[in-house]
Each structure stands twice: as C-alpha cells, then as structure tokens.
Structure 1
C-alpha cells in the first residue's frame, strides 16, 4: 500500500524540468483536474441534491448547496407560505409571504398582519433561503416504502447470480483452455458469437421459457437467464491459457482428478481474473433494470432499480427520494470496487497474454 501511494505521488508531482514548470506540466495538470471533475462532479452533485427538498431540486437556477426556502405559518392559511424579500414601490424592502402566483404577479401577505395584502411583480421579490439538510429523504423511503426489502432482494440476486456466474464460466473456461478436443475452436467461436446477438432479440423467447418454468415474479427468474456470460468465459479462458501446463501435467501424474485440478490448482491461480469477472457481474446484476422490469410485477419481489422507477408517477416524480436512494445504491458498488480494484489491472492485463 505504501509503495502504491509513493508511486502515485511521484507520478502526480513529476515535472519535465526539476527546477521549473513547463507549459506541458500546466496542460497535464489541467487535463488531470478536468478528468477528476468530469468523473466525480456528477457524484458530488448527486450527493448534495439528495439532501435537498423536492422543490429545491426543481428550482431554477439550481443551487449547489442544499438551500431550502423558508416557510412559515400565517394565521388564516392552512398551509405554510413561502417567505420572500420584496422591494416595494417606495424602494423599501420588507418580508412578505406568497399566497399564490398568477402569471407575472404574486399575491402576497404580511406575515405579521394578515390583513395587509399586496400584488407584487415577480421580479421584485427574492427568495429567503436557509441551509437545510433533509435527512428525511433517506429515512422516509426506508420507513414508508419498504426499501430494506428491496435492498435484500437486490443483494440476494447479486450474490447468488455472481456465484453461479463464476462457477459456470470458470468451468467452461477450464474446458476451453486446458482440454484438447475436436471442435474446441468451433465451440469458442460459438460462445463469443453470442455477443453479436442483441438482448432485445432474445427477450421474448427467454421470457417464454421463464414463464413455462413458473418463474414469473420470482427472483430466480431474474438470476438464471444470465447465469452464463460469453464475456466471462472469454475473460477466464484467456487468463487460464497463461497458467503453466507443467502444474496440470504434474497433478495428473499424481493421479489427481480433473475436479481436484480445477478446484485446487486452476481456480486459486485464476483469482485475479475471477475477481475482475466478479466486479463486472456485481455491477451488471446490481444495476440491471430491463430484465427485472419484465419478469417482476409484484412489489414484494422488486429489486432496487425497479423500486426507484416506482417513484416516477404519471404527473409527478419524487426526485428527492429518487436521488437519495440512488446515492445509497451506489455505496455497495463503490465499496466492492475499492476492495477488488487491485485485481483489475493484473487480471485484465494477463488475459491478453498467451
């Protein structure tokens, strides 16, 4: 970890000349910071917007910080009214509460004296805001909309599907990389060729098969259709080609079974590639939307992505809940990626060797 930190520090602080900055150094830093901003800017905006009110999210022009307009109770009105700084005709500035807006005119009332009412042009008023973090955006969906159940469903689908994917793909890759048999290259071409088939073409046939097996509105109907992936088979096969054949031949001479060779020798040596495939599988399954939307129609078996879609109505959308729950759905993927990212470079680089 220390060596990696030192290497990153040396790369970042490296200059063309030791005693001065060259124009290429300025350009490199600009390009670096621009890339960081483009990658992390949307995530920061998402995090800040997730603690805004629904009205604050839809404000124009938008604000970066979670600022919400102050509202107060006024005698004679059922709902809280929004507070504004208003410039009157005599040039004085006072605080008024808005009753309603009609076109370019706002009907307002003095909160201290509800008998005094005004008609103010909308360009003569300014919203009074305060810094307000709406943690209810995170708590309400968990309490009211049973989001913990949706989290459990997504975790179950992701974990089980990833385990099945790793087992099936690694077995197929083992056969295509270690064994020598007639039609091996044809089988490999057939597996890779399935990448050319768009998902939309096979949706109806796969749905028909799932329906005949009685897996509609079942999490297994989401898990099993994508259990074997051609990308995973190719990735693991390319990595297993780099393994020393001497180890496998020595194990066979010691009368080790093919299962023992696969389980005790090939799989442990293929951990970097398996970790890469695990990351890809977790990301695919956790973020999958189209297939669960087709298979699942009962709310008790919804995954997170389908549950988030439920916040979009025909007339209104609860963006404060959508953004807050989207932020929560990003955390597991970010943590897993952070933990397994050390295998990505090794695994992908080795799959290109033969």
Structure 2
C-alpha cells in the first residue's frame, strides 16, 4: 500500500492510535529537549552560551568546561558521597519494603488491612510536614552530619511497600505452602523463592529509589551541613551560588552527575519494562 501509513499488522492505524502516538512523541521531545540542550551547551564557551539568538550546536566544541569544572568542584568527593548514599539506601529500601510487603501480602493477621491502609495513606503526607520530627529523631540519635543520617530515614517508603505488595499478591500461595511442607523456613522461603519471583518489581523499585536518592536535595541540605558529607545535588547548588562561576562549568558538572542514573536505567531497562507490563496485566 504505497503512500499509506500501514501498521505492522497490515492494517491502517486508527485515528486514536495516530493521536496517541503523536502526543507521546511530542511529550518525549518536550522532556528530552532540555537535556539535549544542556548536553550540547556544556561544550560551548561562555561567550557562545550568552550569544543572542541562542544556538543549538556549539560552533567550537571544547572539553575545557569539563576539565575546569570538575577540578574546581572537587567532584570526586561528592560523587563518592552520592554513590554510597544511593547504593546503601537502595539496598536497604529493597530489603525493608520487600519484608513489609511480604508480610502484608502473604500473612493473615488481625489488623493487616488497616495497617496497609495506614501505610498507604502516608503517601499523601507532604515531606515538609514530617521533616522536623524526622530531623529531631536523627539529631537525637547523633546521625546529623553523617551519611547514616542520609541513608536510614528514607529507607522505608510506602510507595515501595505498595508496589511490592501488589506484585506479591499475584504469587501463588501453593508454591509457598509446598516449600513449608518440604521443611523450608520462613526466611528461606522469602529469600530463595519470593525475592527471585519478584525480580521485575524489585528492579522497578530499585530504579525509583536510585532516582529519588540520587536527586534528593532537601533532606541532604538539612542533615549534611558539613561540606565533606554533602551529596552532588547540594554541592552543585552551592557551586552554582558562588561568585564568578561560568555557567558552562555548571552545565558540565550537571551533565556528568546525571550519567550514572542513565547507565543504571539502561542496565535495568529490560527488568523495568517487564515489571511494569506484568503489573499492568495483573
């Protein structure tokens, strides 16, 4: 069918399909455009970046922004802090949320549904409401100005509990009962049977947690007042607020800071899509 838009099924797509596809493409362009501009502008000079009208591509690309910006920024120390906080908090989030979700999905006890409802209702509470009490607890435990103060408080998330619980509800109870009959302990069932079956959902929660922890700004700003304990978002904001800092250097540092999240997403992409699709089917 020459000159006609034909789908893979051999039939012309409907108007609804064309509209949805167009909306998704436009939305993707709107989301990606600022990232593309930031990446290209990080190779521009200060004069070219301030030129009017602005240009998309750098006329004379240079890596000096990266070399100078990373050297003046002490990027390695803040990258290490963010990596430690993100990895440790993500592993702790997966473990705590998976245990809570398993109990709420596969154990029958009085008040289970009420407990899940209370847990789920905390999603509607803004962070600013609980910020002061959480900080007081962290301060009383002596975890201010420490990486533990950044790792432990956000470890348990109601979103993660909800996501994993809904996935675990689809797991057959017969498999767990058969393991108990064979003499497997509860921890062995959870570790060797439940967690491997929940790998797609865990991958989705992992990428969510990595994005949350890596980009978190408000909590590290309050807890990590010592510069040596600050993470990348806080350090970049402080770096941008200094006097006479060329904007291309800030762009270069910002572009480098988002590369780890992109790499993690590409690695977990197949598991994430599998988890989202299977969750939608269920």
TM-score (norm: length of structure 1): 0.72
* Superposition pairs of residues 43-192 of structure 1, within 5 angstroms: 43-66=35-58, 131-192=59-120
Residue 77 of structure 1: aligned partner: none
The structure that has the greater radius of gyration is: 1
Is structure 2 residue 281 aligned with structure 1 residue 281?
no
C-alpha deviations, 1:107-127, integer Å up to 9, x for none?
A: xxxxxxxxxxxxxxxxxxxxx
Cα distance in 2, alignment partners of residues 264 and 311 from structure 1? 46
- Superposition deviation, residue 186 in structure 1: 0.8
Is structure 2 residue 17 aligned with structure 1 residue 14?
no
Residue 235 of structure 1: aligned partner: 163
- Superposition deviation, residue 27 in structure 1: 6.7
Is structure 2 residue 129 aligned with structure 1 residue 208?
no
**Alignment CA distance shift 1:54-1:216 (3 Å):** farther
Is structure 2 residue 39 aligned with structure 1 residue 39?
no
2:239 aligned residue (311, 320, 324): 311
- Superposition deviation, residue 187 in structure 1: 0.7
Contact preservation (8 Å) 1:16, 1:25: no
- Higher RCO (Cα < 8 Å, 6 or more apart): 2
Cα distance in 1, alignment partners of residues 183 and 17 from structure 2? 60
Residue 196 of structure 1: aligned partner: 124
Q: Which has the higher helix share?
A: 2
Contact preservation (8 Å) 1:169, 1:233: yes
Residue 145 of structure 2: aligned partner: 217
**Alignment CA distance shift 1:26-1:254 (3 Å):** closer
Cα distance in 2, alignment partners of residues 264 and 191 from structure 1? 26
**Alignment CA distance shift 1:183-1:311 (3 Å):** same
Is structure 2 residue 222 aligned with structure 1 residue 325?
no
- Superposition deviation, residue 334 in structure 1: 1.1
Contact preservation (8 Å) 1:176, 1:237: yes
Cα distance in 2, alignment partners of residues 246 and 21 from structure 1? 43
Cα distance in 1, alignment partners of residues 114 and 244 from structure 2? 53
RMSD (Å) for aligned C-alpha atoms = 2.6
- Superposition deviation, residue 33 in structure 1: 4.8
Cα distance in 2, alignment partners of residues 309 and 220 from structure 1? 22
Q: Which runs of 5+ in 1 are unaligned?
A: 1-11, 67-130
Cα distance in 1, alignment partners of residues 119 and 14 from structure 2? 51
- Superposition deviation, residue 13 in structure 1: 6.3
Residue 124 of structure 1: aligned partner: none
- Superposition deviation, residue 59 in structure 1: 2.7
Contact preservation (8 Å) 1:311, 1:321: no
Q: Which runs of 5+ in 2 are unaligned?
A: none
C-alpha deviations, 1:24-73, integer Å up to 9, x for none?
A: 9987776565344323222211111111123332333211122xxxxxxx
Range with bigger deviation, 204-213 or 49-58: 49-58
C-alpha deviations, 1:260-319, integer Å up to 9, x for none?
A: 110010001000000000010000001111110111122211211011101233765532
Residue 264 of structure 2: aligned partner: 336
Find the residue that maps to 2:145 and give its secondary structure: coil
Residue 112 of structure 1: aligned partner: none
